[in-house]
A and B are shown apart, each in its own frame.
Chain A
Amino acid sequence: MSHKQIKESDFEAIHYDDSDAERIAGESTSFWKDAWRRFKQNKLAILGIIVIVLLGIMSLTGTLISGQNYSDNNLMNANQSPSWEHWFGTDNLGRDLFARTWYGARISLFIGLTAAFIDLIIGVIWGTVAGYVGGRVDEYMMRIADILSGVPYLLVVILLMVIMPQGLWTLIIAMTITGWIGMARIVRGEVLKLKSEEFILASKSLGANTMRIMTKHLVPNAIGAILVTLTLTIPNAIFTEAFLSFLGLGVPAPQASWGTMTSDALASLRYYPYQLFFPAFFICLTMLAFNVVGDGMRDALDPKDRR
């Protein structure tokens, strides 16, 4: 490169003030903005959210659309293939499967969301207290969690379902009785990590009380991990519900959930595969959507994992 053309006058000193020096560096973005930007790039996760919203809307309104009732049986119409009248066909009692599918969606989603939400509440409280208070308290609290989780989750749930009357809330109680442990462990881990960080010490030294530190500092900073765990708990709860219903331990007839519908369809699978197709498809779709959204959130919130 030739520098002949450079003029004498170019050799004048210029002065930057400090703010100029800082301005050169790349623009800094906030953690959540950054996470959102990464999440938006994940097309699958966005699609997952759309699917979840659509499923939610359909579970609320789907039973009204077709003008059929989910529990009206009419043996004259039994085992009909999908048609203009019965969009998803009818089952062996002549009940409209379209209406039942969306009624089942309501039950399945309700159970999944409620169970996940209860797990969230218990898990966050348990984990935060154990992690923050530490010492003996932590040890006992986690020991209890260990013992509860020593027996396989589904085995516990099944045993509980045996002794309690069948029903919606029985399912939810059985699922949450040990379901919160995973959340509690994750929250505790996050809290332990955060506890030793300087801003907590700073806040303590400024005289913030324990309650304030927990609610204003620890939980908000652990919210990423909590959200991810929550999103991944929901499909798990939906699966558990379907699993139990499939074993005949789900909601009693004439109520329907996707699990009971798959179970009912199994007997006549050879002849009427469409009866299995719809509930099975929607179970898979729902779980897939939640899993994809959960993965997307984890990737977005944890840049280390974003590769």
Chain B
Amino acid sequence: MKKLLEVNNLSISFHTYGGEVQAVRDVNFDLHEGETLAIVGESGSGKSVTVQSIMRLLSMPPGEFKSGSILMNGEDIVHKTEKEMENIRGQEMGMIFQDPMTSLNPTMKVGRQITEGLIKHQNMSKEEAKERGLELLRLVGIPNPERRINQYPHEYSGGMRQRAVIAIALSCDPKILIADEPTTALDVTIQAQILELLRDIQSKRKTGIVLITHDLGVVANAADRVAVMYGGKIVETGTVDEIFYQPKHPYTWGLLGSMPKVDDAKGDLQSIPGSPPDLKDPPKGCPFAARCPHAMKVCDQHMPDYIESSSTQKTACWLLDERAPKVAPPENIFAGGDK
């Protein structure tokens, strides 16, 4: 399968009045045609910054690319000009935002918001664009598109708005779709519909999807591969099965432990004590060390290398070093899992 996107050693900082916040530190991942990569982590882990930097949507300053490259079809887009980026955004990649209530322009008809990109990128006439807009509305499952296309966002329900946002993102048939918590603001039943829609589109168009979420339920449903982010770093990557059934990083264990399970009789949720590190002054060693129940002296001092436990799974944890004591993942994280 074709590689659509490759992120190498990406580091991004923000300059604030309190100092430089190192939001993303040395992040690597790639995305192939037709696959969904989920980036998981709690708020402040840097996942949103990572994907917004792929679209080059961060305002710089205060943001700054410190190092690394973002290769799209082999071309680095970090140093492209705004003008060049305009042709990439919408055409090569589309983006879906978290809150459908705020991500549509309230004073513009939905139809126009969909067709804008088409008119700009594909030199369509208004009529052609409108035809295509109707098609897109049908594709994302909005009933009665002839009427809906002339309505304003406030006349849509939350789920329909998110469908409209997806229609906008898909309008120019981009190869890459970036979805920043696309279901977080929606009801559970709508969530499932939206994920279903994304999967459906992906199978039709071979779109590569980067899915940001903090909800492991969504990951299990939608992702092929998973990258777990913590403190601006990716601490573990693997296929969805590997992450759920053979997690190696204590933070991944913690995440899995904090996920509610349907048939867990006791029904108690494990939380991860403590709070994420201050990225103005990130720890020298493993960012999770301060909260890790298995932390060792070395964790404080040195960032662990990635250790491959399969061709697809990589984990940055000292526990995997041969000198470390053997620690088994806690049992409760598998209790009644998806097995």
Kindly identify which residue among A8, A18, A25, A41 contacts B278, using a CB–CB cutoff of 8 Å: A25
B323 and A8 within 8 A (CB): yes
Q: Are B302 and A21 in touch, CB under 8 angstroms?
A: no
Query: Which of chain B's residues have a CB closer than 8 A to the CB of A18?
Result: 273-274
Q: Does B154 contact A (CB under 8 A)?
A: no
Chain B residue, CB-CB nearest to A17: B273
- Known A6-B302, A8-B323, A21-B290; contact A13-B295, beta-carbon cutoff 8 A: yes
Within B279-308, which residues are at the interface with A (CB < 8 Å)? 280, 283, 290-291, 294-298, 300-305
Known contacts A13-B294, A13-B296, A16-B295; is-contact A24 B302 (Cβ 8 Å): no
Q: Please, which residues of chain B bring their CB within 8 A of the CB of A8?
A: 323
Q: Are A11 and B280 CB-contacts (below 8 A) given A16-B290, A21-B290?
A: no
- How many pairs of A and B residues are in contact by the CB < 8 Å rule? 63
**Number of B residues contacting the other chain (C-beta, 8 Å)?**
27
Say yes or no for B318: interface residue by CB 8 A criterion.
yes
In the complex, are the beta carbons of B321 and A11 less than 8 A apart?
yes
Question: What chain A residues lie within 8 Å of B296 (beta carbons)?
Answer: 10-14
If A15-B295, A21-B274, A41-B17 are given as contacts, then 10 extra A-B residue pairs at C-beta distance below 8 Å, sorted by A number, are A1-B303, A3-B302, A10-B301, A11-B296, A16-B290, A21-B273, A22-B273, A24-B275, A24-B277, A24-B290
How many A residues touch the partner, as a band? 20 to 34
B322's nearest neighbour on chain A, judged by CB, is A11
Chain A residues whose CB sits within 8 angstroms of the CB of B273 once the complex forms = 18, 21-22
- Inter-subunit contact B291/A11 (CB<8 Å): no
Q: Is the CB of A14 within 8 A of B305?
A: no
* Interface: A26 (CB within 8 A): yes
Is A20 interfacial (CB 8 A cutoff)?
A: yes
Q: Is the CB of B298 within 8 A of A25?
A: no
How far is B280's CA from A8's CA once the two chains are assembled, in angstroms? 31
B275→A25 contact, CB < 8 A = yes
Residue of B nearest to A5 (CB): B302
Q: From DSSP, what is the main secondary structure of chain B's interface residues?
A: loop
A14 touches B297 (CB 8 A): yes
Once the chains bind, are B274 and A3 in contact (CB under 8 Å)? no
Q: How far is the CA of A2 from the CA of B310 in the complex (A)?
A: 22
Cross-chain pairs A/B with CB under 8 angstroms, 13 sampled: A11-B318, A11-B323, A11-B324, A13-B296, A14-B295, A14-B297, A16-B295, A18-B274, A21-B273, A21-B291, A25-B274, A25-B276, A26-B278
Specify which chain B residues have a CB less than 8 angstroms from the CB of A26 in the assembled complex. 278, 280
Minimum CB–CB distance for B245 against chain A, Å: 25
The CA of A280 and the CA of B82, in the complex, are separated in Å by 49
Minimum Cβ distance to chain B for residue A221 (Å) = 26
Does B325 make an interface contact (CB < 8 A)? yes
* CB contact list, A3-56 vs B, under 8 A: 3, 6, 8-16, 18, 20-22, 24-26, 41
| A22 to B305 alpha-carbon distance, docked (Å) | 26
Min CB distance, B114 to chain A, in Å?
Answer: 31
0/1 interface trace, chain B 248-282, chain A, CB 8 Å (1 if under): 00000000000000000000000001111110100
**Considering only CB atoms, which chain A residue lies closest to B287 in the complex?**
A24
A14 to B280, CA, bound (A): 25
Interchain CA distance A208-B105 in the complex, whole Å? 45
Q: How far is the CA of A15 from the CA of B297 in the complex (A)?
A: 10
Binary B-proximity of A260-283 (CB < 8 A = 1, otherwise 0): 000000000000000000000000
A residues 46-69 touching B (CB-CB < 8 Å): none
Measured CA separation A9–B325 after assembly (Å): 11
Bound-state CA distance A3–B305 (Å) is 9
Contacts of A20 in B (CB 8 A): 290
Q: Given contacts A13-B294, A14-B295, are A24 and B274 in contact (CB under 8 A)?
A: yes
| Inter-chain contact A6/B298, CB cutoff 8 Å | yes
Q: Which residue of B lies closest to A41 (CB)?
A: B17
Shortest CB-to-CB span from B60 to chain A, Å, is 16
CA distance in complex: A12, B276 (Å): 23
Q: How far is the CA of A13 from the CA of B274 in the complex (A)?
A: 18
Q: Report B67 CB to chain A, min CB distance, Å.
A: 15
**Chain A hits for B278, CB < 8 A:** 24-26
Within 8 A of A (CB), among B205-257: none
Which of B280, B294, B297 makes the CB contact (< 8 A) with A10? Answer: B297
Tell me the minimal C-beta distance from B21 to chain A in angstroms: 11
B241 shortest CB reach to chain A, Å: 29
**Shortest CB–CB separation between residue B55 and chain A, in angstroms?**
22
In the complex, which residues of chain B have a beta carbon less than 8 angstroms from the beta carbon of A24?
A: 274-275, 277-278, 283, 290-291
In contact, B275 and A22 (Cβ under 8 angstroms): yes
List of A residues within 8 angstroms of B325 by Cβ? 11, 13
Minimal beta-carbon separation of A144 from chain B (angstroms) = 33
Complex CA gap A6/B323 in Å reads 10
Alpha-carbon distance between A14 and B297 when the two chains are bound, in angstroms: 6
The winner among B291, B298, B300 for most chain A CB atoms within 10 A is: B298
Distance in angstroms from A302 CB to nearest chain B CB is 16
Contact of B305 among A1, A9, A41 (CB under 8 A): A1
Closest to A18 in B: B273
Contacts of A21 in B (CB 8 A): 273-275, 290-291
Bound-state CA distance A25–B294 (Å) is: 19
Which B residues are CB-close (under 8 A) to A15? 295
Rounded to whole Å, the gap between the CB of B327 and the closest CB of chain A is 9
Q: Which of B274, B304, B321, B324 has the most CB of A within 10 A?
A: B274
A15–B291 CA distance with the chains assembled, in angstroms: 10
